[in-house]
Amino acid sequence: MRQFLHLFLVASAFGSPLEKRVSGTSVVNLGNNTGSPMHLASGILYGIPDTPDQIPQNLYEDMGFNYARAGGAQVAAPGRGWIWGLTEYKNRFASALSNYQTARTYDANFIFLIHDLWGADGTQNSTAPYPGDDGDWSDWDDYLTHWISDIKANNATEGLSVDIWNEPDETAFWNAPQAQYFQMWGRTYHRLGTELPSVKLIGPAFAGQPDASNDWWTGFLSFVASNTSVPDEWVWHMEGGGGDMEGAYGALFNLLGTYNLPNNPLNIDEYSTYAEQVPAGSAWWISQLERVNAIGLRGNWLSGSQLHDFLASLLSKPNADNSNYSATGGGYFPNGDYQVYKYYNLNMTGYRVGSSPSADLKLDTYATVGSDTVKVLTGARITTGTWQVEINDLSAVGLADSGTLNIHTWSFPFTGGHFGEVDGPTDLGWYEHTYSGNNVTFPIYQTDNSTAYAFEFLRG
Ligand SMILES: *[C@@H]1O[C@H](CO)[C@@H](O)[C@H](O)[C@H]1NC(C)=O
Ligand SMILES: *[C@@H]1O[C@H](CO)[C@@H](O)[C@H](O)[C@H]1NC(C)=O
Ligand SMILES: *[C@@H]1O[C@H](CO)[C@@H](O)[C@H](O)[C@H]1NC(C)=O
Ligand SMILES: *[C@@H]1O[C@H](CO)[C@@H](O)[C@H](O)[C@H]1NC(C)=O
Ligand SMILES: *[C@@H]1O[C@H](CO)[C@@H](O)[C@H](O)[C@H]1NC(C)=O
Ligand SMILES: *[C@@H]1O[C@H](CO)[C@@H](O)[C@H](O)[C@H]1NC(C)=O
Ligand SMILES: *[C@@H]1O[C@H](CO)[C@@H](O)[C@H](O)[C@H]1NC(C)=O
Ligand SMILES: *[C@@H]1O[C@H](CO)[C@@H](O)[C@H](O)[C@H]1NC(C)=O
């Protein structure tokens, strides 16, 4: 009876649970310790105000903020970057430096976007110059000279990485020949490697995921192998609303074998669409990134001053979404998506355990085993339906291989949307599950496309 109540509560918008077909099962294996949680997915693209301390400290700390990425894009005029002259370069640099300094306050790493500082942030006009146009590299060389000097003058190398160019496979960011991009990569990599040896050089930050039939990937890997300009981290973006991390990493792994390249760490420095930036979508992405040990930075779908605000759509404030919005205003509060990152950072402690997504890749699960409690976070990829979570090897956490298990359920609603206020998850109570065979299985009734769930139970 209690078990039925549990199902009924989680499924309140549904009819009888028995009528609903289960689409698949996400499996947690408690016996598979995959190491310490480092909340790898807690990075953000932009989202940091250029005024230090505008967002209160606890809002950075509680979400586990540990990675930032910026380069002064879309700052107030005059600030269109190097291609518009030194003053417009300086204004972008000041924004990026401020964001860097904020990041370092929290011991977060920082990825400098030198394409944005150059001026290719996607708002540049159709005749804007690119490095090496007509075989002339003098302007790019001069630009790098200024940038290297400014980085050194500001002691800004600690925790610093450089994405040599963002999404060159998109004409919005690189409207010049592919071969010219490879030359730019080779020149820039070797110069920065010599002049800023402690700075990580990462890339290629393609919009497209690794794929043996994508000539940006094959051309790039072939070039860096022959040019000895292998990035310190393999970077690409997952913002198309499709794909999955095991598939994408598997394709990269095979390509690295083909070109005899090292299996360097992964950095997905833009992940999730705006629609996926909801509790269920974030739980799904956290599970995906953690499984392959990829660093992840949330994409940012806001523009203008809002690009430099709200920690990449995790926060809101009064007038956030109306014409009275103020770039420098305060009064910040968390949205529903924020609560997932807070739980992931502060509550999911101990050690991680392996899991697998449902076969249809729609439901995924991230789990940790703490000194007292097992915690399982789950979310569907912004869709509705019925799936199951199966938790195997209960004896690995000291439980009997059959009996009853009391599970504490929490929901993470997205009340009010990206600009709504949610101050914590909702307690759905404790419910008993009878199990045998050393595993317990329970359904997830995903009746909306945004709510994530967490399940907690005591170890034996
Ligand atoms: C396009 O941008 C470049 C700087 O990137 C500028 O020199 C040029 O005047 C702009 N062209 C137009 C038509 O605005
Ligand atoms: C530069 O930064 C490093 C690391 O943060 C610090 O140890 C050092 O004191 C700084 N140097 C100066 C001159 O500020
Ligand atoms: C790498 O490519 C750049 C651009 O063509 C070139 O300047 C550099 O000499 C190359 N380095 C090596 C080691 O091949
Ligand atoms: C903006 O503020 C003005 C002045 O306080 C107020 O009259 C107006 O209704 C506000 N607009 C919105 C969309 O809240
Ligand atoms: C997360 O941990 C905090 C601090 O221990 C606790 O107060 C809170 O209830 C926990 N949240 C959930 C959802 O378990
Ligand atoms: C443990 O989990 C990791 C990550 O999900 C997975 O790659 C690995 O194959 C699992 N190992 C076992 C023995 O299940
Ligand atoms: C889970 O338990 C059921 C019995 O409840 C058993 O049939 C099944 O083999 C178990 N699964 C695993 C992976 O051990
Ligand atoms: C999620 O559901 C809401 C409410 O039904 C709907 O407005 C929204 O378009 C849906 N989003 C997706 C990605 O399906």
Rounded mean pLDDT, 405-419: 98
- Tell me which ligand sits closest to the C-alpha of residue 81: 1
Whether the CB-CB separation of 292 and 249 falls below 8 Å is answered with yes
Give the domain-ending residue among 344, 365, 397: 344
Task: Let me know whether 406 and 436 are in one domain.
Answer: yes
Q: What is the rounded distance in angstroms from the CA atom of residue 144 to the CA atom of residue 363?
A: 45
Q: Are both 339 and 362 inside the same structural domain?
A: no
Give the pLDDT confidence score for residue 2 in this predicted structure: 35
Among 314, 344, 374, residue at a domain's last position: 344
For residue 331, give both structure tokens.
């009064």
Q: What is the pLDDT of residues 214-269, one digit of tens each?
A: 999 999 999 999 999 999 999 999 999 999 999 999 999 999 999 999 999 999 99
Q: 40: which 2 tokens? A: 């790898």
One domain for residues 256 and 358? no
Cβ 353 under 6 angstroms from ligand 8: no
Q: Which two tokens stand for residue 65?
A: 């903020």
**Is the same domain home to 289 and 397?**
no
Instruction: Report which ligand 6 atom has the smallest distance to the Cα of 29.
Output: 14
- Name the helix (H) or strand (E) containing 7: helix 2-10
pLDDT given at position 13: 36
Minimal-distance CA residue to ligand 2 atom 11: 155
Q: Is the pLDDT of residue 142 over 80?
A: yes
49 and 119 both lie in a single domain: yes
| CA 102 to centroid of ligand 2, rounded, Å | 15
Number of structural domains in the chain:
2
CA 209: distance to chain centroid? 15
Tell whether the model's pLDDT for residue 12 goes beyond 80.
no
Range of the domain at 422: 2-37+350-458
pLDDT (average), residues 372-400: 98
pLDDT at 11 over 50: no
Nearest to residue 311, comparing CAs of 335, 276, 343, 289? 335
Give the model's pLDDT for residue 444: 96
Does 30 have pLDDT greater than 70?
A: yes
Boundary (domain end) residue, out of 321, 344, 367: 344
Render pLDDT for 34-81 as a digit per residue (tens, 0 to 9): 999 999 999 999 999 999 999 999 999 999 999 999 999 999 999 999
The pair phi, psi for residue 68, each rounded to 5°, is -130, 160
pLDDT at 8 over 90: no
Tell me, what's the pLDDT at 73?
Answer: 98
Q: Is the pLDDT of residue 97 over 50?
A: yes
At 272 the pLDDT is 98
Q: Is the dihedral of CA 300, 305, 306, 309 positive or negative?
A: positive
Residue 113's φ and ψ, nearest 5 degrees, are -100, 90
- The average confidence (pLDDT) of the chain is 95
- Rounded to whole angstroms, how far apart are CA atoms 217 and 281? 27
- pLDDT at position 18 is 47
Angle at 362 between CA 356 and CA 368, to 5 degrees: 40
What confidence category does residue 21 fall into, taking pLDDT thresholds of 50, 70 and 90? confident
Helix (H, G, I), strand (E, B) or coil at 374: strand
Q: Residue 9 pLDDT > 70, yes or no?
A: no
Q: Are residues 118 and 238 in the same domain?
A: yes
Question: What pLDDT is recorded for position 283?
Answer: 99
Distance CA 334, CA 354 (A): 30
Q: How many CB atoms sit inside 10 A of residue 245's CB?
A: 25
Predicted TM-score (pTM) of this structure: 0.95
**DSSP letter, residue 371:** S
Task: Check: CB of residue 341 under 8 Å from CB of residue 353.
Answer: no
Mean pLDDT of 21-42: 97
Distance 212 CA to ligand 5 centre (A): 45
Q: Is 60 helix (H, G, I), strand (E, B) or coil?
A: helix
425 C-beta closer than 6 A to ligand 5? yes
* Average pLDDT value for residue range 318-331: 98
Distance 275 CA to ligand 6 centre (A): 29
Q: Are residues 355 and 418 in the same domain?
A: yes
